[in-house]
Structure 1
């Protein structure tokens, strides 16, 4: 992968994430700031370490990407997010905690569905691919099962798009980590599409 190809992938993600951020802002009734996504190729042990680091103090929602591409998204909601979203969307005054009740869990699932759906729709439009987001579910915390799900064979190495969005409330920023996983076969498909089409000159300009 050349540096230009990395830049194109980042720009494609930026376009998809901008739509996702707009959708989240409507739900959260707050301004959402978006950081430029980083692009990392990691070993499975590094994946486990990164997921465990976030999942220890976040409520985690998982959603699979299916169709022409195979992938998974994980969204990590902090206690502050749970508190604010419960207040804004459910009119509930709750403490800062990642221990959620059934109603709060349904809210997080719906928010993840909205954000992942917006991201996947934009990626499908830009890459001319038939992909869709599966219904989200609460992440069980079994990181080993997650890696086996992402890497069905030891010969495959997933590419992780590590994305951070910021949910801003009256000047106080709270990070909402979103990790996007693609397996090696899917990433090669994306590279083939990029190499076969002038994204910079045509597709991205009209997105």
Structure 2
């Protein structure tokens, strides 16, 4: 079975996730006392190698904040940035005047907090829109290649919902990805819930 989202369903997913990152941006803006803008311009449902090829276009090694989720849907979620951009992101969020040593010391804590706020904002928005509950695990920070960050279960081709995310603060922009890794069953459930959501608001 292949699960595919129609153009209308992709638009609905993008709308739901933009609500989530909008909430996350508001929370992060309060934390850093500066306006942070987050947006999700696109969403794609991809399979196995196609998803890995799509994401590998950004960098060989990446920085990821990853957490598992379960409930209405089950899988794992990750916020991905090219490794070369991770310190830039920390510097943008915390303080432009920090030294390189100070940024490095604060990198792990800051990235985990940023990822936690963004991922939980997205998952909360999904749960609200699709009328269910989603629980999450404690987020972890990974510096690794994509195969390590998003492992493939033996004999099971993963389904990845891939979202591009634009992160803007102080007129500077970094682009990354939010990825939801699901098995085929969870992807099918997600597609049906999105279809039901569209029907409910029509």
TM-score (norm 2): 0.77
Cα distance, 1:182–1:199 mapped onto 2, change above 3 Å: farther
**1:31–1:174 Cα change, 3 Å:** same
Using the alignment, how far apart are the partners of 1:158 and 1:179 within structure 2? 14
Equivalent residue in structure 1 for 2:107, among 92, 104, 109: 104
Higher strand residue share:
2
1:115 equivalent in structure 2: 118
Q: How does 1:1-207 map to 2 (within 5 A)?
A: 1-28=5-32, 29-44=34-49, 46-47=51-52, 50-51=55-56, 53-54=58-59, 56=61, 59-69=63-73, 70-76=75-81, 78-87=86-95, 93-95=98-100, 100-101=104-105, 103-148=106-151, 151-169=152-170, 171=171, 173-183=172-182, 184-197=184-197, 198-201=199-202
Closer/same/farther in 2, CA of residues 31 and 107 from structure 1, 3 Å limit = closer
Moved over 6 A (4+): none
The SS at the match of 1:15 is: helix
CA–CA distance in structure 1, aligned partners of residues 79 and 25 of structure 2: 15
More displaced, 44-53 or 10-19? Answer: 44-53
Measured in 2, the distance between the counterparts of 1:86 and 1:167 equals: 13
Please report how far the alpha carbon of residue 104 of structure 1 lies from its aligned counterpart in structure 2 after TM superposition. 3.1
Deviations 1:150-201 (A, max 9, x none): x3243433123222122221x3x22141322232322211121233342433
- Alpha-carbon distance change, 167 to 9 in structure 1, aligned in 2, over 3 angstroms: same
Long gaps (5+) in structure 1? 202-207
Cα deviation for residue 45 of structure 1 reads 6.2
Q: 1:161 to 1:42 in 2, by over 3 A?
A: same
Q: State the match for 1:205 in structure 2.
A: none
Distance 1:125 1:175 in 2: 28
Aligned mates of 2:127, 2:27 — CA distance in 1 = 17
Structure 2: 5+ residue runs without aligned partners?
none
Cα gap change, 1:55/1:63 in structure 2, threshold over 3 Å: closer, same or farther? farther
Instruction: Please list the CA deviations of residues 35-54 of structure 1 after superposition, one character each: whole Å capped at 9, or x if unmatched.
Output: 42231414336416725834
> For the Cα contact (< 8 Å) 1:10–1:39, is it kept in 2?
no
User: Structure 1 pair 32/19, CA: closer, same or farther in 2 (3 Å)?
Assistant: same
Q: Counterpart in 2 of 1:204?
A: none
Number of paired residues?
191
